[in-house]
Amino acid sequence: MTESRQAVTGDLDAMRREEHDLVVVGGGPAGLGAAQAAYDEGVDDIVILERDFELGGILQQCVHPGFGLEYFEEELTGPEYAQQFIENVAERGVDIRLDTMVLEVTHDRTVYAVNDEDGVTEIDAEKVILAMGCRERTRDALDIPGSRPAGIFTAGTAQRLINMEGKLPGEKAVILGSGDVGLIMARHMHLEGAEVEAVLEIMPYTGGITRNVVQCLEDFDIPLRTQQTITEIHGNDRVEGVTVQEVDEDFEPIPGTEYEIECDTVLLSVGLIPENELSVDAGVELHSVTGGPIVDETRETNVEDIYACGNVLHVHDVVDWVTEESMIAGRSAARSLQDRVETREEPIEIESTGKLRYVVPDRISTVDPDREEIPLYMRVHAPMEDVFVTLSSGGEELTRTFERRAEPGEMVTLNVDSDTLAELPEPRLELDVVQREEA
C-alpha cells in the first residue's frame, strides 16, 4: 500500500541524484567518439548513457566490411570498428551505464535516466552531448496502400534479426529502396538463403554507393529497378506479394505499368531520420532539411551547453565521418568546460544555395587558435559530374574545390582554413556547386 502510494505521488526525495561534467546520451559510434575526445582534452568525469545491453550502437549489426577506411585506413566490419572505440573509452575509465534509458533532457541540462538497478536518476550535467543516432522511416511514412500482414520490416530490423538474433525474416523478399542499407540487406538475405526478387528504387538513380551496387546486387544477379515503387501490399496473415508500378518525374505511379511480384517479405529501406524527441523537449531547434539540430562549428545547439553529433545531427554516409564529427563535439564541450572557448563578436552565418540541399554547421561562432581548419559537410540535390564546390562571402569567391562526381548519397566536404575566416568581406559564407563548363 505504502509502496504504491509512493510510486503514484513520486517520492522525489528517494530519487538518486548525481552531478557530472559531461553526460553523453547514446553509446554508438558518435557517443563513443565524443566521450573519447572529451577525455583526451582533459575531462575525466564523463558518463555515457546507453539503452541497449552493450555499446556500439547499430555498428554491432553491420557485420559487413567497409568501415574505417578513412579513420583507421583499413577496412573493418561494423563490430570491429565499434570494438576499437569501446576499448578506448573503457581504458579511459569513462562511466558507462548500459540498459539505461534517458527519459528527458531539460534545457538547463538536467538529465533523467532510468534503469533496473538505480531506478530513476537525476543527473545535473555541466555539458550534454546528444548522440542518439537515427531511425528508419517505416511503411507509415510512405502511405503504401494494402493490407497489414506480417512480413514487412525495415531493412535495419531485418539486419538485426539476421546478424544478432540468427533469424531469417523470410524466404522470398522484395526490397524497397536502394540506399546502402537496402543494397547490403539484398546481399545478406541472398547469402543467408532467401531469394531476393528485386530491389526497387523510386528515383532514377540508386541511393547507394557504386561499390555496393556491384558487390551486393550485380554479384548475385539481383535486379535493381529504378523509377519503380510498391503501390500495394497483398496478403492477410503474411505478405503474399506486392504490386509494383513505374513512376513519372513527379513520382506518380503510371497507370498501366502495374505488375505483381510474389513474395513473403518486404524490406523497407527508404531513408533515415535523426532521432530527436529528447532534443526537441530540451528546446533544441531542428533544421528543416536535415531533421537534426541546428549547430555551430563546435556542434553546440541553440541551447547553451547542449551539443549534438553523429546521425542525430544529420545522416552520414560513413561512420568515419561520424567519428570525426563526434570528436569535434567532444573536444569542444571539453574546451568549453575549461573556459577555453572564445566567442566571436558576430557569428559567421553559413548558407547553402542553388544546387546544395544543406550544409552543416549552420554558423561559426567561436575563435580557436588551435584549430587550423573547419570542415563543412554538405549534400547536393541531384547527381552532378565535373563540378566545383564554391565558397563565397559577400559575392566574392574565396575558394573552390573540384569534385568529379557529386551525388545526394555521398556527402561533400570542404575545409575552410582559419586564415580565410580572419578576413571575410562579410560575416557570412555561401556555398554552392557550379558545373565546370559554367565556371
The radius of gyration of the chain's CA atoms, rounded to the nearest angstrom, is 23
> What is the four-CA torsion angle of 66, 69, 72, 78, rounded to 10 degrees?
-20
Q: Where are the alpha helices (DSSP H) in 97-231?
A: 139-142, 155-163, 180-191, 210-212
Is residue 90 involved in binding another protein (CB under 8 A)?
A: no
Q: How far is the CB of 64 from another protein (least distance, A)?
A: 4
CB 439 within 8 A of CB 386: no
Task: For helices 29-40 and 319-337, give the axis angle rounded to 10 degrees.
Answer: 40
CB of 109 to another protein, least distance (A): 33
Nearer to another protein, 67 or 307 (CB): 67
* Binds another protein (CB under 8 A): choice among 18, 40, 51, 77: 77
Q: Which residue has the cell 545522416?
A: 315
215 binds another protein (CB under 8 A): yes
The reply on whether position 379 binds another protein by CB under 8 A is no
DSSP 287: P
Instruction: Characterize the bridge pairing of strands 119-130 and 306-308.
Output: parallel
How many other CB atoms are there within 10 angstroms of residue 423's CB atom? 8
Interface of this chain with another protein, residues 181 to 200, rule: CB under 8 A: 191-193
The 1-40 contact track toward another protein, x by CB under 8 A, reads ----------------------------------------
* Residues in binding contact with another protein, number by CB under 8 A: 29
Distance (Å, whole) CA 406 – CA 385: 6
Q: Which is nearer to another protein, 77 or 110 (CB)?
A: 77
Q: In this complex, which beta carbon is closest to another protein, that of residue 77 or of residue 115?
A: 77
Q: Which of 22, 36, 39, 64 binds another protein (CB under 8 A)?
A: 64
Of positions 19, 108, 219, 417, contacts another protein by CB under 8 A: 219
Cis peptide leading into residue 361 (ω within 30°):
yes
Strand partners, 428: 349
> What's the closest the beta carbon of residue 400 comes to another protein, in angstroms?
19
Under rule CB under 8 A, residue 209 binds another protein: yes
Question: Residues 370, 379, 135, CA angle at the centre, nearest 5°?
Answer: 95
63 contacts another protein (rule: CB under 8 A): yes
> Using CA atoms, how far apart are residues 347 and 23, in angstroms rounded to an integer?
27
Residue of 6, 147, 210, 353 that binds another protein (CB under 8 A):
210
d(CA 25, CA 113): 10
Q: How far is the CB of 56 from another protein (least distance, A)?
A: 8
CB of 104 to another protein, least distance (A): 29
Size of the chain, expressed as the number of residues it contains: 439
**Beta carbon nearer to another protein, 173 or 233:** 173
Nearest approach in angstroms of CB 320 to another protein is: 11
Contact footprint for another protein (CB under 8 A): 53-54, 60, 63-65, 75-80, 82-83, 162-166, 191-193, 209-211, 215, 219, 404, 410
